[in-house]
């Protein structure tokens, strides 16, 4: 087997001196609330070059191009989720008069220059579309009173939102154990909103009650996330290729994750050992590695490293380590990149529901199979006299955490 010399070409920030073409301002909002109008801005510094075109793509499909030589210079192409107002668009700065869930995606601006250099720079960023829930999650099925040993079978349902809510159950301020939870599939409406449900099922035991009462709260957590991509590392398997550094024409986001490590040359059989580092955040960034646009296998990943800073924010690092094989190459090239997903946490709690415990044990009773009602077998020994009630504490807990 011939020795493959693998050259690692790392496009590094600040090394674009080969080209005079630079993106000056690139602005795609990470998040837009559904319906909101947005500007997508892309401007450039040409220096000595002459502009040929500015193109905007969403998920690799072109929807706008600006060619100074054309009449009119700005043109749009119909695309789902794109609502351009051409009258307001100015060169690379484009205006969307509204957004909907189809507007979500990765937006790329590409600026190219004329002869003789034909240079291209591009940058991309994801925009997500969010819809906040308009109400608190609701709890269904709580009975006013439970007997010892009786099955508590209740459900929490979130108001429609995007992204979907993650639900949690709290029994007397303690999070419910995972084995008592059942998660029916999330439903998605036609407008792209999600409704989550979490069922809590357990047998009522005295320890579930504090002074005879059980307090139940359901919490909806919405992680409003956006994903940033790192620069891409290109590794070539072609030993005859001139060993010259080729810079990616992707401009680098300054707040995106960075790749550290990596050698300038690899052979098949060598170990690639690189790390992806996200800027600090709270909650910690979620990192993913991609090899040729496919997510890296878990066995290629090193344990996640986290450094907690004084202000509570966390720096996250994820290592990628694997032996270079022929199959990692597509057309003699392998591309590596990582993504960091940063989230803002939005929490919303249900109203508090309370239930009481009856002194009576379940085995002293029998359940009417038709109505589900618990009946006393011997009414003469009935100790029950509590009045059933559900107290709804009007504590509107809307917490925002960052």
Ligand X SMILES: *[C@@H]1O[C@H](CO)[C@@H](O)[C@H](O)[C@H]1NC(C)=O
Residue 393 touching ligand X (CB under 6 A): no
| Residue 390 C-beta: closest distance to ligand X, Å | 16
Question: Cβ neighbours of residue 168 under 8 Å, at least 6 residues apart?
Answer: 175, 176, 198, 218, 219, 221
**Pattern 307-336, binding to ligand X, x per CB under 6 A?**
-------------------------x----
Q: Give burial (CB, 10 Å; 0-12/13-18/19+) of 244.
A: exposed
Residue 138 touching ligand X (CB under 6 A): no
Site for ligand X in 92-121 (CB under 6 A): 93
With respect to ligand X, which residue has the nearer C-beta, 4 or 130? 4
Residue 153 touching ligand X (CB under 6 A): yes
Measured in degrees and rounded to the nearest 5, phi and psi for residue 288 equal: -135, 145
Q: Are 287 and 316 in contact (CB under 8 A)?
A: yes
Contact range with ligand X by CB under 6 A, out of 178-186, 236-244, 299-307, 380-388: 236-244
Residue 290 touching ligand X (CB under 6 A): no
| Pairing mode, strands 120-130 and 61-66 | unpaired
Q: Are 102 and 80 in contact (CB under 8 A)?
A: yes
User: What is the CA angle 106-112-114, rounded to 5?
Assistant: 165
DSSP secondary structure of 262-323? --SEEETTPEEEEEEEPPPBSSPPEEEEEETTEEPPGGGBPPPEEEE-TTS-EEEEEEEEEE
Q: Are 176 and 147 in contact (CB under 8 A)?
A: no
Site for ligand X in 249-288 (CB under 6 A): none
With respect to ligand X, which residue has the nearer C-beta, 90 or 377? 90
**Beta-sheet strand order (sheet of 22-27):** 22-27, 38-45, 94-96
Contact range with ligand X by CB under 6 A, out of 2-10, 159-167, 233-241, 353-361: 233-241
With respect to ligand X, which residue has the nearer C-beta, 138 or 314? 138
With respect to ligand X, which residue has the nearer C-beta, 41 or 321? 41
| Residue 94 C-beta: closest distance to ligand X, Å | 9
Residue 240 touching ligand X (CB under 6 A): yes
| Residue 66 C-beta: closest distance to ligand X, Å | 13
Residue 142 touching ligand X (CB under 6 A): no
Give the Cα separation of 269 and 68 in Å (integer).
Answer: 50
For residue 348, what are its two tokens?
């919303």
**Pattern 25-64, binding to ligand X, x per CB under 6 A?**
x-x-----------x-x-----------------------
Contact range with ligand X by CB under 6 A, out of 238-246, 307-315, 321-329, 337-345: 238-246
In terms of Cα–Cα distance, which of 401, 282, 259 is closest to 338?
259
Range 276-293 burial, b when 16+ CB lie within 10 A, else e: bbbbbbbbbbbbbbbbee
Q: Which of 141, 212, 261, 269 is close enough to bind ligand X by CB under 6 A? A: 141
With respect to ligand X, which residue has the nearer C-beta, 93 or 172? 93
| Residue 93 C-beta: closest distance to ligand X, Å | 4
Residue 238 touching ligand X (CB under 6 A): yes
Binding site for ligand X (CB under 6 A): 25, 27, 39, 41, 90, 93, 141, 151, 153, 238, 240-241, 332
């Amino acid at each position: 087997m011939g020795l493959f010399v693998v050259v690692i070409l790392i496009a590094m920030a600040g090394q674009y001196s080969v080209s005079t073409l630079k993106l000056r301002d690139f602005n795609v909002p990470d998040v837009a609330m559904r319906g909101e109008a947005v500007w997508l801005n892309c401007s450039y510094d040409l220096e000595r070059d002459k502009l040929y075109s500015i193109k905007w793509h969403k998920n690799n499909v072109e929807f706008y191009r600006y060619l100074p030589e054309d009449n009119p210079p700005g043109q749009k192409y119909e695309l789902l989720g794109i609502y351009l107002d051409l009258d307001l668009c100015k060169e690379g700065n484009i205006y969307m008069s509204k957004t909907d869930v189809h507007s979500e995606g990765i937006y790329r601006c590409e600026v190219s220059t004329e002869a003789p250099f034909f240079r291209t720079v591009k940058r991309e960023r994801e925009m997500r579309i969010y819809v906040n829930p308009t109400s608190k999650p609701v709890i269904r099925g709580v009975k006013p009173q439970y007997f010892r040993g009786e099955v508590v079978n209740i459900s929490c349902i979130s108001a429609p939102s995007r992204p979907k809510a993650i639900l949690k159950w709290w029994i007397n301020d303690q999070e419910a154990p995972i084995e008592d939870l059942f998660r029916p599939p999330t439903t998605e409406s036609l407008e792209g909103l999600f409704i989550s449900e979490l069922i809590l099922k357990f047998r009522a035991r005295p320890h579930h009650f504090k002074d005879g009462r059980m307090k139940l709260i359901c919490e909806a957590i919405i992680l409003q996330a956006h994903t940033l991509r790192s620069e891409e590392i290109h590794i070539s398997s072609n030993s005859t290729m001139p060993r010259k550094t080729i810079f990616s024409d992707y401009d680098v986001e300054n707040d995106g994750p960075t790749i550290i490590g990596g050698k300038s040359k690899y052979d098949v059989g060598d170990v690639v050992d690189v790390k992806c580092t996200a800027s600090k955040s709270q909650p910690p960034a979620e990192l993913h590695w991609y090899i040729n646009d496919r997510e890296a296998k878990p066995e290629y990943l090193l344990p996640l490293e986290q450094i907690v800073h004084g202000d509570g924010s966390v720096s996250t690092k994820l290592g990628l380590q694997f032996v270079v094989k022929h199959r990692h190459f597509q057309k003699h090239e392998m591309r590596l990149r990582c993504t960091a997903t940063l989230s803002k946490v939005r929490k919303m709690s249900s109203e508090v529901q309370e239930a009481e415990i009856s002194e009576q044990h379940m085995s002293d009773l029998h359940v009417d199979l038709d109505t589900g009602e618990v009946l006393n077998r011997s009414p003469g020994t009935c100790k029950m006299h509590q009045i059933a009630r559900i107290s709804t504490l009007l504590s509107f807990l809307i917490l925002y955490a960052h």
